[in-house]
A = this chain, B = another copy of it.
Amino acid sequence: MRDRTAVREEAPMTDVQSSHRTRIPRDREHDYTDEMAHKRQSFVAERTGADLEHVRNYSFDPAVLPGNVENFTGVAQVPIGLAGPLTVRGEHAQGDFFVPLATTEGTLVASYNRGMRLIGECGGVKTTVVDDHMQRAPAFMLPDALQAREFGRWVDEHLDEIRAAAEATTRSGKLTYIGQHQIGPLRYLRVNYTTGDAAGQNMTGKATLAACEWIKANHPDHPRYVLSGAIDTDKKHSQINMLMTRGKRVVAEVTIPDEVLQRITGVTTRQLFEYRQIGMAGAFMSGAAYNGAHAANGLTAMFIATGQDVANVAESHSGVTYAQLLDNGDYYWSTTLTSLIVATYGGGTGLPTQRECLEILGCYGSGKVNKFAEICAGVVLAGDISLTSAILAGDWVTSHDALGRNR
């Protein structure tokens, strides 16, 4: 959460470093300039000996940065590899997409690329956004559990007014429903919104603050609250996210003919399905956030490239896969990302390289977020197919017996 109280509190602080300690150069009036960046580069060089020859090589005017970073000093240059085309047959994303992946991990682009090729030979990946909920979850503190329960009913009865208070703070945010969970005398409200093309964490924070203030002012007991009772669960994986969705819940599906899988990966669909049983058991026992292969890899690379809030990988990498081996030997494979937090507007999406990468996907700007979410899910599925097959090919193809045959 980066709510505005934080901004207000924090703004002056860099200046007031206690005098005996070195201060990062700062100029409140003209902070986003090449000159200030240069001062900070020199400062760093002087203090630490690090020569920022490449960090200083950004290609844009720092004046675009307010709202994206403070104490701007330069840029990280993260290599972008291109993968694709990924053929997507979604509701919002339709056609072939070349996917910019910003990463420093070798084979990642190649592996996703291979998965995309396989998907192409299967006619593309079907994608669907099936749910959409961003939330802020305050906790109200009542004197006891009974009053907390009654408070919850009062909230239900005043939903329209609460919604009005919340939505007055935002153009695009819409309050959809308020989930309620009680512990002792605490009533946690998980306030759910749709947030248009923005990821919406700030929007929902602001709207929920307004909702809470309305509640506090209008409920006869004026109950105290904290804006986050930790069940939002912002910037963290959680089971509640997996169950109730955070951001977009997106499904990617493909049916893979055995012949295609064998030709491209050297693995049969039957081997894949047998291995799946092992992986499901392992993921369940481990208490894992995802029972597929590596959603985090593709998502992170796309997030960096396209100006997403990359920390949301914490939530976004979570999901549930579901597969069936069909009678004809085809393999039906679905991946459901349960808490994919993405934006095509706001945050870092408008920064220079980030915007260009969104444009490669035809996803820059308003009305594009579901399209982008669908492509993300397709990319994840491509990468999971490729890596899973690679794990199997390493050992299994040299094995004459398939799993469990001679039991």
Contacts and interface: CB of A to CB of B under 8 A. Distances in A.
Contact of A300 (B7, B185, B310): B310
A294 B6 CA distance: 14
Contact of A21 (B59, B65, B96, B403): B96
Given A104-B69, A278-B229, A279-B230, A237 B327 contact: no
Interface string A278-317: 1111111111111101111101110011010111111001
A52 interface: yes
Interface string A99-129: 0111111111111011001001100001010
Contact of A282 (B102, B188, B334): B188
A329 interface: no
Point out which of A68, A209, A362 has the most chain B C-beta atoms below 10 A from its C-beta: A68
Contacts of A360: 44, 48, 50, 52
A280 B322 CA distance: 9
A249 interface: yes
A387 interface: yes
A361 B110 CA distance: 32
A234 interface: yes
A247 interface: no
A155 interface: no
B75 A102 contact: yes
A398 to B, nearest CB: 10
Contacts of A375: none
A227 B102 contact: no
A108 B72 CA distance: 12
Contacts of A85: 21-22
A243 B239 contact: yes
Given A141-B404, A353-B76, A356-B51, A313 B286 contact: no
Contacts of A21: 85, 96, 120
A180 to B, nearest CB: 9
A229 B293 CA distance: 10
A193 to B, nearest CB: 18
Contact of A69 (B79, B130, B348): B79
Q: How many copies does the complex hold?
A: 4
B387 A6 contact: yes
Point out which of A3, A139, A183, A226 has the most chain B C-beta atoms below 10 A from its C-beta: A183
Interface string A70-92: 11111111111111110000010
A337 to B, nearest CB: 11
Given A50-B357, A231-B285, 13 more contacts: A2-B111, A9-B389, A17-B117, A54-B353, A54-B356, A66-B106, A69-B79, A130-B152, A184-B335, A224-B403, A230-B286, A240-B286, A242-B287
Counting contact residues on chain A (CB < 8 A from B), the size range is: 35 or more
A359 B106 contact: no
Given A3-B391, A69-B104, A74-B353, A230 B283 contact: yes
Interface string A25-68: 00000000000000010001001111111110111100001111
A68 B236 contact: no
Contacts of A18: 117, 120-121
A367 interface: no
A386 interface: yes
A106 B242 CA distance: 27
